[in-house]
Amino acid sequence: MTQRIVYDDVANEYLQVENGVDGFLNSPLVSFDDAILPMVKHIENLDIAVHRAKQNWNKTSSRLNADECQAIYLYTIEMQTDSVYTIINRYLRANDTFPARPWFPYMKLLYTALEKLPSHVGSVWRGVNRDIRVNYKRGAIISWWAFTSCTAKLAVIKDFLADKGKSTIFMIECLNGKNISKYSSISREDEILLQPGIKLEVVDNALDLSGLRIVHLREIATKSRAMTAHKQTSSKTAAVSTDKHKIQKEIANQCSSNKAAVPKAIRTFSQANENDYNRLKSLLFYGLDTERTKTSCPHCSTKIDLSPEYKEGTQLVCHSCKKTFIELTCVHCNELNSWKHPHRREGEVRTCWNCKKQFQYLNCPHCTAPYIWKRANYVQGQKVSCWNCRKQYQHLNCPNCSHANFSTAADYTEGQKIGCAACKKPFQHINCPHCTKENFWKNADRVVGVKTPCFHCGKSFQVVNCPHCQKPNHWRQLDYKQGLTVTCCNCRKKFQHINCPHCLTAAYFSNTDNEQSRLFACRSCQHRLHHVICPDCNSQNFLQSTSLLGLAFVTCAHCSSSFLNTF
């Protein structure tokens, strides 16, 4: 049996009934591929585990779809470093929502899959390699906020306990356990999973069985906070997992009391088109009416007709006063916000005038569906997976003209030079590794590898793009030196980099064969020079002499010390 059933971290379980991380239940339900995207950078070799899940999931299941089966299978895979179940349960137990946010889509998919399985009623067992009975007072009501693995066989628990005299065993009378053996990576074992937010009563904490300390818990049938939140969002969950007509029917039912609010295409389902469908999903998830036909100018109050192609967040021009403005519906309170200043850019953090909460908003370049960040945590350049068409894209606002540039192939990498689609001017962009804020170079004149202070937090960093995978490598501690062989943090391949002292053009050596002191020529200005690092002060020295051969003394240009070097 997997060691999930004897996991010491349960000793740190947050036991308060009215608290816990259940925000993931309000996340939109997405596919397995979209759910794991935010997790990739947090788990080493996650791609290997994902490949296993996609190859070995239970294809005979009649209860769960492929995404749900793969989510459970991935949860049960043991990995060399932290496994998926280890990390998500650590966040759930810590009662800290902020660091758990990247995991919300996967947690929601896993939770939804488990809800579809039949409930196991009976006694299950779980062990901890510590005596924690003092935390479980007789008669107390507690909640466990993680996914809790148990077994129906006490003998299995005993095999995994390190010191039976100092360990604790939980005997749990559960009402809603989920047997995941048919969907697990270890199918021969009967693993029972308890959902987050389960409410338990401590029946007894002084039981003893052949030297084993046993705490008797009984599940309370009352709905937990997590279950309540699930019921409140059940209509959204159902709409995501069903077809377009069911989504339309859901909206039609919600609007049945006011037929004027129901789009014509909804009342006649056969005439529904793709634009209506996108609008329905926007209404269902965010309460946005993306099909308004009229608005008022915030400058002169003139009524303005909106074209069918209009998208919220794009600039409008009043035909009367000729002034520009932008409108956007707040995702927190559904109030319409107007900005008189046309310089507001797509994807920018916006503050609602009514509720004072911040949010960010982008329209998908593929299908125009809105993507909204309620917590205003979107950073330009990151990959976004559209909830509607499932396609990925990236977005950058030009620092010269503020035009929104989209990479529909999602192949943009930080630091590369790009030309604005509107003003044609080149620029570069890097996200600060300290504060994650965007830094732009209007003239695309960023020098690779040099110490760069962030325009927002003021902290310095260094960035070099790998010549193999083009991904950026960041140095927060400013300890990168030109010419040194480094290993890319993404593809793990080695490379070297040198900036020409004449034109500052970056030279890359992907095969790491540019040994120090070797003569090399700049590909831009064609200057030939040697590059040497001083052994005393660790500074860069560039020697323009092309006649240096064998042993020669070099005087450092920084500390003035002399050292012997081989050319």
Give the domain-ending residue among 232, 265, 282: 232
The torsion region of residue 293 among left (phi > 0), alpha (psi -120 to 50) and beta comes to alpha
How many Å apart are CA 118 and CA 56, to the nearest integer?
22
301 CB burial (10 A radius; 0-12, 13-18, 19+): exposed
Q: How many CB atoms lie within 10 A of CB 251?
A: 21
Domain boundary among 177, 206, 232: 232
Mean pLDDT of 27-52: 87
Q: Between these two residues, 275 and 532, which has the higher pLDDT value?
A: 532
Taking a C-beta distance cutoff of 8 angstroms, is the pair 514, 538 a contact? no
Q: Are 281 and 176 within one domain?
A: no
**Residue 264 domain-assigned?**
no
Residue 228, in any domain of the structure: yes
pLDDT, tens digit, 9 for 90 and up, residues 5-17: 665 555 555 455 4
Tell me the whole-structure pTM to 2 decimals: 0.46
Number of domains observed in the structure of the chain: 2
Give pLDDT tens digits for 477-523. 888 888 788 899 889 998 888 888 778 888 777 766 555 556 677 77
Note the pLDDT of residue 517. Answer: 59
CA 61 to each of CA 75, 183, 354, 356: distance values in angstroms, whole numbers, following the listed order: 17, 9, 48, 47
Q: What's the CATH code of the domain at 99?
A: 3.90.176.10
Q: Which residue type, as a one-letter code, is found at position 240? A: V
Instruction: Mark whether 41 and 129 lie in a shared domain.
Output: yes
User: 10 and 148 share a domain?
Assistant: yes
Domain boundary among 378, 406, 431: 378
Confidence check: pLDDT of 249 > 70: no
Q: What is the mean pLDDT of residues 339-346?
A: 71
| Domain contains 280 | yes
User: Is residue 460 pLDDT above 90, yes or no?
Assistant: yes
Q: CA-CA distance, 75 to 83, in Å (whole number)? A: 8
Residues 285 and 352 placed together within one structural domain of the fold: yes
* pLDDT level of residue 64 (50, 70, 90 thresholds): very high
- Judge whether 524 lies within some domain: no
> Same domain, yes or no, for 205 and 278?
no
Res 496: pLDDT: 84
Same domain as 281, residue 195: no
Percent of the chain with pLDDT over 70: 76
Does residue 190 sit in the same domain as residue 118?
Answer: yes
Which one is predicted more confidently, 557 or 191?
Answer: 191
170 and 88 in a common domain:
yes
Name the range with the highest mean pLDDT among 90-99, 195-204, 368-377, 504-513.
195-204
Identify the pLDDT of residue 423: 93
Residue 262 above 50 pLDDT? no
- Higher-pLDDT residue of 295, 558: 295
Give the containing element (helix H, strand E) for 143: strand 141-144
Q: Cβ distance 113 to 71 under 8 Å?
A: yes
Q: Are 67 and 213 contained in the same domain?
A: yes
The gap between the terminal CA atoms of the chain, to the nearest Å, is 62
The DSSP 8-state label assigned to residue 12 in this structure reads G
Within a domain: 558 = no
Mean pLDDT of the chain: 77
Per the CB < 8 A criterion, the answer to whether 432 and 408 are in contact is: no
Tell me which residue of 220, 198, 95 sits closest to 148, measured CA to CA: 198
pLDDT by residue (tens digit) across 301-337? 888 988 877 777 778 899 899 998 888 878 777 788 8
Token pair belonging to 45: 């070799």
Q: Report pLDDT for 165.
A: 63
pLDDT tens digits, one per residue of 273-304: 344 434 444 544 444 555 567 888 988 988 89
Q: Does 222 share its domain with 327? A: no
Model confidence pLDDT, tens digit, residues 164-200: 567 888 889 999 999 998 999 887 667 899 998 889 9
Question: What pLDDT score was predicted for residue 98?
Answer: 65
Quick one: pLDDT band at residue 462, thresholds 50, 70, 90? very high
Mean pLDDT of 471-481: 89
Cross-strand bridge partners of residue 508: 497
Pairing status of strand 350-351 against strand 562-566 = unpaired
Q: Which residue range(s) make up the domain with 361? A: 273-378
pLDDT value at position 350?
86
pLDDT of residue 81: 75
Question: Is 180 contained in some domain?
Answer: yes
Q: In the prediction, which pLDDT does 533 show?
A: 76
Contacts of 270 (CB under 8 A, 6+ apart): none
Is 161 a domain residue?
yes
Average pLDDT over residues 19-34: 79
Q: Is residue 253 part of a domain?
A: no
Q: How far is CA 222 from CA 19, 143, 198, 225, 228, in A?
A: 16, 12, 9, 10, 10
Residues 182 and 301 placed together within one structural domain of the fold: no
Q: Are residues 343 and 207 in the same domain?
A: no
| In the predicted structure, residue 252 carries a pLDDT above the cut 80 | no
What length does the chain have? 567
Evaluated on CA atoms 150, 156, 162, 166, the torsion sign reads positive
